[in-house]
Amino acid sequence: MVLVLPAMAGEPREFGPYRLVRRLGVGGMAETFEATRIGAGGFAQRVCLKRVLPAFSDDEEFVSRFQREAKLAARLRHTNIVGVIDAGEIDGAHYMALELVDGVDLRSLLKSSPEERLSPDTVALIGMDLAYALEHAHEALVHRDISPSNILLSRSGEAKLADFGIAKAIDNANVTASRSAKGKIPYMAPERMRGESVDGRADLFSLGVVLFEALSGVRPFDGVHDVETMRKILEGDRVSLSEAAPDAPEKLRKVVERLIEVDADARIQSANELLDLLAAVAPLPAVRQALAAMVEEHRGGPEARLHVRAAEEERDTELTRVPGVVAESALDLTAKNRVRRPWLFAALLAVFATTLVVVSQRATETPAPETRIPEPSGANADTGPVADTGAVTGAGAVTDTVADTGAVTGAGAVTDTVADADTAPAPVPRGSVRVVVQPWGNVWIDGKFFGRAPVSARLPKGRHVVAAGHEIPTVRRIVWARPGARKEVELTLSEE
């Protein structure tokens, strides 16, 4: 199936033998795209294309390092390493084509997990996968930039390490190098901060910080700013894992704490040694299945897989709603029906108006003290469906959501639903969620359209799916609402 996505404003669709599908993001030294490599005879391969930004492309020293490190990374072939498929230069722009992992990065998964942490068994599994990756890689090169954003989790429950060879090329670049370190300092080994030569133990330190965070929901060395964080790492001033994650097995805690020793000689010395230590806490095979299910859920379920459903199909099932207008999907209409049967909307509006009259008459018969209006359960008043005025469902049946004034069901029959105010249970406090989309986009929560970001919503306790996109949802995140708590969610969309 050919994946068809909207064109990117200001971007050429073709880049040498690659067709750029959509921008995935922009970092300190490169921009990343989902792309399709076109070959002879209709051959097509989906890849992740990382293209160096112009500021770096003009630096000859950086380009030389980038090419050398890309060649080394291309020699790595391991199931737990994101493979380099191709590297080169097109029209003065240097690039790497990488394996495209259908899944989610660890940073996003942590953000959407309760208390932003994972179970000890899941952490042990991820640790073992990455230890295997480092055992293979350290024969050729050091990663130097391990962080949750560079750890990808596939729908099969595999952890894969990405971006080998990039950090070393950046280290001595003369331009914009400071931007590349943004967000990486909490995971940086102290010897690298001191400008010393590094070996595989620096990667093990970074991996230890990642596992510590995944176990506890906090970083071991975390200052209010980068300078304080660097001081804490250099001095070994950190949080105790036994206090941050008391539910984690003691053997696993000891392994992680040995990884983050400031003195490299006191640290676990090799990935092979780490594998031996993790063998004592090796999780059952079912844990990988559970991790795969978590990734699948985060990505929207099987029906949202990019390789089995094209964007045009998704457009038909997740249509943009206009506030105050019933969504076409709720009426189970096809695009063809929506064009050929405009009379249906007029009929629904007539039924809707009649319903309001009936409800209004019933409301006048109910004593004022008995009347109570429940709080809206979905979108806010400005952008979502209008609450307490009835909702059209099925093939035109109308149900009313006004409490204590009667409910219209079926084809207009009225049933009384007056509740006793003295016996009604106290309402459960809701959580408050504010959704911001960068640079811009619309928001859906639990499949309901909320309008253009930023939006705020009060949600019942539990798990909710927040999605963002332009015409259709393209980015999803799972959030957990807690009674009375406030949470801000930021989603980033490609500039299409």
Find where tokens 């004592």 sit: 280
Q: For residues 359 and 389, give the distance between their C-alpha atoms in angstroms, rounded to a whole number.
A: 9
**Whole-number Cα distances in Å, 55 to 35, 37, 93, 176, 454:** 22, 26, 10, 7, 32
Residues 145, 203, 400, 404: which is the catalytic one?
Answer: 145
Largest separation between any pair of C-alpha atoms in the chain: 83
Q: How far is CA 289 from the centre of its chain?
A: 20
In angstroms, rounded to a whole number, what is the distance separating the alpha carbons of residues 235 and 400?
64
Q: Is 145 a catalytic residue?
A: yes
Specify the 3-state DSSP secondary structure of 316.
helix
Is the Cβ–Cβ distance between 406 and 359 less than 8 Å?
A: yes
Query: What is the C-alpha separation between 431 and 478, in angstroms, rounded?
Result: 14
Residues facing 457 on adjacent strands: 433
Quote the CA–CA distance of 187 and 193 in Å, as a whole number.
11
| 112, 298 contact by CB (below 8 A) | yes
The burial class, CB within 10 Å (0-12 / 13-18 / 19+), for 462 is exposed
How many other β-carbons are positioned within 10 Å of the β-carbon of residue 464? Answer: 18
The strand pair at 486-492 and 159-161 is best described as unpaired
Whether the bond into 439 is cis, omega within 30 of 0: yes
| CA–CA distance, 160 with 136 (Å, rounded to integer) | 12
Amino acid (one-letter) located at 139: E
The tokens for 118 are: 């994972």
Q: Are 166 and 145 in contact (CB under 8 A)?
A: yes
Q: Cite the active site residues.
A: 145
